[in-house]
Structure 1
Amino acid sequence: MTASSHLRPETEPSPGETISVAEATYLNRDANPVIQILVRAVEQTDDAIMITRADGIIEYVNPGFERITGYRAGEIVGRSPSVLASGMHPPAFYSELWHTIGRGESFRSVFTNRRSSGELYYEEKTISPIRGSDATISHFVATGKDVTARIAAERRLEYLANYDALTGLPNRSLLHDRLTQAIQRAHRQSKAVAVQFVDLDRFKLINDTLGHNIGDRVLIEAASRLRQCLRATDTVARLGGDEFILIQEDVDHPDMVEQVARKVLEAFAPRFLVAPPQGLFVSVSIGLALYPVDGLTPDELLMRADLAMYRAKEAGRNSFRFFEAAMDASAMRTLTLEVAIRGALENGEFAVAYQPIIDTHTQRPVAIEALLRWHSPIHGTVPPDHFIPLLEENGLIVPVSRWALREALRQTRRLQRAGQPGLRLAFNLSSRQFRDVGLLQDVTAALDETDFDPRLLELELTESALMDNPEASAAVLETLRARGIRVAVDDFGTGYSSLAYLMRFPVRTLKIDRSFVHEMERSREAATIVRAITSLARSLGLDVVGEGVENVAQLALLQELGCHHIQGFLFSRPVPAAELARSFPA
């Protein structure tokens, strides 16, 4: 007879029969009431309770055990608990279990068991010995709680903490851990580790134009292609956004790293079929850094691979670059400049210099161009091509240029009153300023504050700034024109202007880029471009200015081609306002 939770008639058990605790209690009506309560508690608890003999054979299971395991009491009593074994624990686990309970101690652990259906479940179990009157172990009692839901939740949280939810790749946290372990192994084995920083080219454009859903599909496909480029022992991780990291171990030579980088570029050559019907072509830029030559820590390697990746982008994208020490020095200088420039305006470190624009017919200035300068007490005089991009990136270009415009208007107004009444001021607007909603208000306030004639102010913009959003640009330029302010296109010929748009913009001046002026002495093509620009300007009724004129030969060529407004070192370098005033003819 097998155990049952149902009470039996009032008969004594036959020899060899197995009865339940409840049955034994019912047969002994004089049992202690406390014992009766304990029996009911065992029968009614949700936890699984199993009692075995000292040799491990099951003698009793409660209804909680039946519910959790799916085995009925009649199926399990008389058998070994190994019927529940999942095969997920090594033999040493069970050896430790029997060793512990055999010496009279309790064993506690989370078991991975298997239900009668074959489904795995997790049970938080305690197995304790039961001693008889002679102090020897006669039985064992195991109490267990089904913690499958809790374990699943913990594993899900662990997964989310270590893996990217979109691509399933290791995230930044797990990447750092794996890179640390790879470095430790490489150190023991005297091997190298390669870190490849992979960034999708122009991914922001995909998100902005096609939406984040298409962007996510691109990232998922990119992750799949990257996985196929590495061995199973290597790691592909998503750092964030459109940035991925590849970790190669057991590197014997840089050629191994280069081969993988080329394999990645080839993997991204086919179109991404994520935006039917034509799909997308997505290229990548890759930066490479090696342990131990380029860094000894994960942070150093990631930073230097990142620097190399930006050099790949600067070189035209869809390429790879190895890290070089010069990149680190350049990056460190950029970082220190970023820190120093934040307080430069408040500390009065900026100044405005001026370069005249000369009419070759009269040899007199018709305008002066205001040029921002930075004299840092730490870094000395910093070139504009170093600090202007920093101002653009951190957003300080707007307040700094707001100050520079007022300063330039004030100083030019002083020159006008000193004998140059028709002198124009040319002032450069960055693309960020041009897009700023407060531009017209800032310019109008500066003009009013300095009592400057708007017709003598010419704002210079690059072609790329104008063509970023032609419709919006046309509206802003028309507002400026209505105020009487002139507009010039700076560095003309280097951008991608459409002549149709150029005719729509209220532009007054084209400034020929200095690169054409510099090359036209030895390049027929450059001379042809300059001739075309001057001819275009005349046909549209525009003024034209030749920039970067450094010698008489360049001056003669420009005059021959019909350009008579000249700017460059041949006449004057950029100088402070006081020095400029002394150079004006009486």
Structure 2
Amino acid sequence: MLWILFSDQVLAWLVPDGARQALYQSWKGAFYVVITALLAWWLLRRAERAETIVSSTPEQVRQLVRMVPVGVCSIGFDERILVSNAKMREMLGLPGRQGDGPLYLRDLLRGEDLLSCRQGMVRLRAGGQEQPYQAELRWHSIDGRTEVPALVTMALARGFDGLPLHFACVLQDVGAIRSAREALERSETSLRLALDGSGDGLWDWNIPGAAGSYSSNFMRLLHYQGNDFAHDFAWPDLLHPRDRRRVQAAVTHAIRCGTPFSELARLRRFDGEYRWFQGRGMRHLDADGRPERFSGILTDMTSHREAEERQRLASVVFDNTIEGVIVTDANNRILSVNPAFVHAMGYTEAEVLGQTPALFKSGRHSRDFYAQMWSTLNSVGYWRGEIWNRRKNGEVFPEAMSLSVVRDGEGRVRQYVCMFSDISQQKASEARLDYLAHYDTLTGLPNRVLFLRQLESALHEARHDGEMMAVLLVDIDRFKDVNDSYGHPVGDQLLRYAGQVLGRGLRHGDLLARFGGDEFALLVRRVAQTSLLEERVRAMMGELSLPWFAPGGMEMTTSVTVGISLYPRHAGTARDLLQGADAALYQAKSDGRATYRYFSDEMTSRARERIEVETRLRRAVAAGQLVLYFQPQVDIASGCIVGAEALVRWNDPDEGLIPPARFIPVAEATGVIGEIGDWVLVEACRQGQRWRDEGLPPLTLAVNVSPRQFLLGDMVGRIAEVLEETGFPAQNLELEVTEGALMEREQDGLQALRRLRALGARIAIDDFGTGYSSLAYLKRFPLDVLKIDRSFITGLPDDADDVAISATIIAMGHSLGVEVLAEGVETPEQLAFLRGKGCDRFQGYLCSRPVPAGEFAALLRANVQQFRVAAVP
């Protein structure tokens, strides 16, 4: 009814359309009929099985009762004995087989006993009590001669449908019960003695009285030291929290259902230690069939469990370890292998059991190897090392193996245990790492480490044989331009090509290596004459200068520069030979590249001087030994000082002022120029702001920017920070950049100049005329000043070339709309020429040498005063 009402409501809510609703009602009715039919069929099947079971019960009962050691029978509601077992027939002297006539209860009981039994049957059928009927009755044999006192226990047997079938009756001989009770008491005494001897503890709980008794061993197991164990012992409180609920449930179930109790749990002894105990027990019923007692034994299983845990752990480790394990007997016959062995070797366990490990021999080891291994094993008890073995598929592979001897208590060999791991990947990784550590991955040539190692070995042989050797350092010219112009793939191809060409001329004993970047090292053995070596070097340089084709079909040419150091003429150690070749290479680059140079002592002294200057220069920057000098820039038309160039000087405590020509190139080469340039920028802006605060007329301060500063880092951002920090106006700051710095990275340079112009700073091209001097290039850059290099001013006005170049630069600058400034003006004739050509400004000794800030301020004040006096009528 609920289904019908609920489904109608849901259907009306989901399908408001009446026609569709009627269709779905039909489908719903059909579904209801199908489900009802299936349920009816299922119930009928259950009834059939119940009837089958009930009909077969008497025969099953007959088979069961024959095996029961007490008298058992079933009694029908008409008091007829339906089934009886041999024990009952023996007790009552019944015939061995049932006769044709039925046997009734009145044939076995008399008077009050029969009445009592009938009353019990009536109560059982009435269902007034659930407990079975139990009474001690006098049973008689068929002939009436024998009377047997027996305890009868009778219960009503019901079918699966709950309907009563018959009475089940159990007869126990009272005399036998007494004998059994006495025997039980004797067995309990023996059992108690046995338990005391075994160390197990016995408990016996009286369930209705909630009291218990415990053996002395029980108290000893729990380390009880008090006087009232029954009062102090509360087993639920002693159970480990993780075991408490499980054990309590098991005890309750055993008492309620009569199933044996057996649980392993942790109990806290009275000394506070938790230990594992095994409890095994059984409930006992009273005469009315109610649970009366619950007794059992307690066994300390801690040692046993620890041993099992160790054994389980060993088994788990054996099965799951990633190392292969083989266990053999004393005769070296395989007893067991683990799954890792099967995976590593390819054999199944069945294939190797009974075999010897000789099955896996690779053939790579001699007899002496195995003899030494067994000698070590027998003397020390174990052997560890690397060994090659063979898999089932024939593959030979390396193993890291540990072999141990297992002896018994008398020292006799019982087993051998072998553990191994496949180290193929490790060996491959080691080989790969060794290759990466000693070879260049791009060219496949040895690297610096391997070259130095083999150079040491070659030097040792050369000393012994008295031969001459040469170490050559080969550098590819302008390799950076190739990378920047065509990309690193073309650069990598060039390096591989150079390595192949250099390797073609190698003779026996020679060695070629790549040191990194574009630098190669070549060791030439047995140099008879330097002229022959030079001939070989020229041939090598000539071959490398030939055109070659890059990926994509692009034809390219290159050149190399070579530095040469000879043994024993120039050096006697590997380090000194390389250092000499490097100094020679540096000299060859300084001499214009695409050439070779031998090492000389002068090169070493220059190199050492560079290193010394670099070290001292770094300390000077940190110690504040740098100072700024200022050289005036004069407007040619008016003679007024309109600006100054800030020039750095190194005021060394020992040498005094060190000229820029000595330390600026070192600073450029080592990267210290970045720190120096940043210091000059900050200090120049600070000084310019001080002069402004002192009321001096505004002037432009020119600061040189090195190519490294211009092309690396955020120069524009740094200049903006300095201007904001010092307060110096951006329009009074003039940044001098060389043509080379602009043209090296044209696009980046153009972007940087535009950002500087947006910042408000002025831009000057320094040393103009010594570089590209291209109007097509210059017109693209936002410039303010062109500075004519001093080399074109020196010959004025007599040198025709200097006259032509200077005049052209002035005209070019004016055509671009920028000012032109001449450097290095020292004579009035030079100034007169520049004035005549329309040059805007000049600087040089004619006006003043570079001077400290204080002297420049005095010079500027004198210039201002001069113009004031000249202005008075």
Partner residue in 1 for 2:683: 407
Task: Find the partner of 2:332 among 38, 61, 68.
Answer: 38
- CA spacing shift, 1:201–1:120, aligned 2, 3 Å: farther
Partner residue in 1 for 2:498: 222
Partner residue in 1 for 2:482: 206
Q: 2 CA distance for matches of 1:146 and 1:542?
A: 77
Q: Do the aligned residues in 1 keep the contact of 2:473 with 2:522 (CA within 8 Å)? A: yes
Q: Does 1:506 align with 2:800?
A: no
Q: 2 CA distance for matches of 1:277 and 1:379?
A: 58
Residue 385 of structure 1, CA deviation: 3.0
Task: Find the partner of 1:314 among 563, 569, 590.
Answer: 590
Task: Find the partner of 1:455 among 731, 740, 745.
Answer: 731
Q: Do the aligned residues in 2 keep the contact of 1:43 with 1:64 (CA within 8 Å)? A: no
- CA spacing shift, 1:487–1:262, aligned 2, 3 Å: same
Partner amino acid, structure 2, of 1:512:
I
Q: 2 CA distance for matches of 1:236 and 1:395?
A: 31
Paired residues for 1:496-535 under 5 Å:
496-519=772-795, 523-535=799-811
Q: Do the aligned residues in 1 keep the contact of 2:637 with 2:835 (CA within 8 Å)? A: no
Q: Do the aligned residues in 2 keep the contact of 1:113 with 1:122 (CA within 8 Å)? A: yes
Q: Does 1:236 align with 2:512?
A: yes
Residue 455 of structure 1, CA deviation: 2.8
Q: Does 1:566 align with 2:860?
A: no
Partner residue in 1 for 2:525: 249
Q: 2 CA distance for matches of 1:311 and 1:334?
A: 13
Q: Does 1:332 align with 2:626?
A: no
Task: Find the partner of 2:548 among 272, 277, 280.
Answer: 272
Q: 1 CA distance for matches of 2:799 and 2:661?
A: 26
- CA spacing shift, 1:292–1:383, aligned 2, 3 Å: farther
Q: 2 CA distance for matches of 1:436 and 1:194?
A: 38
* Secondary structure of residue in 1 paired with 2:332: helix
Residue 156 of structure 1, CA deviation: 4.8
Partner residue in 1 for 2:285: none
Q: Do the aligned residues in 1 keep the contact of 2:796 with 2:829 (CA within 8 Å)? A: no
Residue 218 of structure 1, CA deviation: 2.1
- CA spacing shift, 1:112–1:263, aligned 2, 3 Å: farther
Paired residues for 1:176-187 under 5 Å:
176-187=452-463
* Secondary structure of residue in 2 paired with 1:368: strand
Q: 1 CA distance for matches of 2:399 and 2:750?
A: 71
Partner residue in 1 for 2:134: none
Partner amino acid, structure 1, of 2:812:
L
Q: 2 CA distance for matches of 1:36 and 1:191?
A: 62
Q: 1 CA distance for matches of 2:674 and 2:429?
A: 50
Task: Find the partner of 1:260 among 520, 526, 536.
Answer: 536
Higher relative contact order (CA 8 A, sep 6+): 1
Calculate percent identity across the aligned residue pairs.
38
Q: Do the aligned residues in 2 keep the contact of 1:352 with 1:370 (CA within 8 Å)? A: yes
Q: 1 CA distance for matches of 2:728 and 2:370?
A: 96
- CA spacing shift, 1:416–1:220, aligned 2, 3 Å: same
- CA spacing shift, 1:519–1:260, aligned 2, 3 Å: farther
Q: Does 1:305 align with 2:581?
A: yes
Q: Do the aligned residues in 2 keep the contact of 1:112 with 1:123 (CA within 8 Å)? A: yes
* Secondary structure of residue in 1 paired with 2:634: strand
- CA spacing shift, 1:363–1:230, aligned 2, 3 Å: same
Q: Do the aligned residues in 1 keep the contact of 2:583 with 2:604 (CA within 8 Å)? A: yes
- CA spacing shift, 1:263–1:42, aligned 2, 3 Å: farther
Partner amino acid, structure 1, of 2:570:
D
Q: 1 CA distance for matches of 2:662 and 2:755?
A: 32
CA shift digits 1:412-445 (9 cap, x unpaired): 3444566751422222122233345543444344
Q: 1 CA distance for matches of 2:726 and 2:777?
A: 33
Q: Do the aligned residues in 2 keep the contact of 1:167 with 1:219 (CA within 8 Å)? A: yes
Residue 247 of structure 1, CA deviation: 0.6
- CA spacing shift, 1:281–1:418, aligned 2, 3 Å: same
- CA spacing shift, 1:505–1:439, aligned 2, 3 Å: same
Q: 1 CA distance for matches of 2:683 and 2:385?
A: 76
Q: 1 CA distance for matches of 2:369 and 2:716?
A: 80
Q: Do the aligned residues in 2 keep the contact of 1:367 with 1:424 (CA within 8 Å)? A: yes
Q: Do the aligned residues in 1 keep the contact of 2:360 with 2:389 (CA within 8 Å)? A: no
Q: Do the aligned residues in 2 keep the contact of 1:470 with 1:501 (CA within 8 Å)? A: no
Q: 1 CA distance for matches of 2:814 and 2:421?
A: 90
Q: 2 CA distance for matches of 1:555 and 1:345?
A: 37
* Secondary structure of residue in 1 paired with 2:622: coil
* Secondary structure of residue in 2 paired with 1:461: strand
Q: 1 CA distance for matches of 2:445 and 2:752?
A: 46
CA shift digits 1:507-526 (9 cap, x unpaired): 11100011222345665333
- CA spacing shift, 1:551–1:427, aligned 2, 3 Å: same
Partner residue in 2 for 1:555: 831
Partner residue in 2 for 1:281: 557
Measured on the aligned residues, the alpha-carbon RMSD in Å equals 4.1
Count of aligned pairs between the two proteins: 502
* Secondary structure of residue in 2 paired with 1:207: helix
TM-score (norm 1): 0.73
CA shift digits 1:129-157 (9 cap, x unpaired): xxxxxxxxxxxxxxx99998876665555
Partner amino acid, structure 1, of 2:332:
L
Q: Does 1:429 align with 2:702?
A: no
CA shift digits 1:369-397 (9 cap, x unpaired): 11011112355433223333444455544
* Secondary structure of residue in 1 paired with 2:540: helix
Partner amino acid, structure 2, of 1:475:
Q
* Secondary structure of residue in 2 paired with 1:518: coil
Partner amino acid, structure 1, of 2:462:
A
* Secondary structure of residue in 2 paired with 1:247: strand
- Report which stretch shifted further, 472-481 or 323-332: 472-481
Any unmatched runs of 5+ in structure 1?
1-33, 49-60, 70-83, 126-143
Task: Find the partner of 1:468 among 744, 753, 766.
Answer: 744
CA shift digits 1:175-201 (9 cap, x unpaired): 111111222222223332211001122
Q: Do the aligned residues in 2 keep the contact of 1:196 with 1:305 (CA within 8 Å)? A: yes
Task: Find the partner of 2:763 among 479, 487, 495.
Answer: 487
Residue 332 of structure 1, CA deviation: 1.3
Q: Does 1:355 align with 2:631?
A: yes
Q: 2 CA distance for matches of 1:436 and 1:574?
A: 29
Residue 348 of structure 1, CA deviation: 1.6
Partner amino acid, structure 2, of 1:271:
P
Greater Rg over alpha carbons, structure? 2
Partner amino acid, structure 1, of 2:438:
N
* Secondary structure of residue in 2 paired with 1:273: strand
Partner amino acid, structure 2, of 1:247:
L
Residue 65 of structure 1, CA deviation: 5.5
- CA spacing shift, 1:450–1:204, aligned 2, 3 Å: closer
- CA spacing shift, 1:478–1:242, aligned 2, 3 Å: closer
TM-score (norm 2): 0.51
Partner amino acid, structure 2, of 1:230:
L
Q: Do the aligned residues in 2 keep the contact of 1:206 with 1:215 (CA within 8 Å)? A: yes
- CA spacing shift, 1:346–1:123, aligned 2, 3 Å: closer
Q: Does 1:545 align with 2:821?
A: yes
Partner residue in 2 for 1:163: 439
Q: Do the aligned residues in 1 keep the contact of 2:513 with 2:521 (CA within 8 Å)? A: yes
Task: Find the partner of 2:618 among 334, 342, 360.
Answer: 342
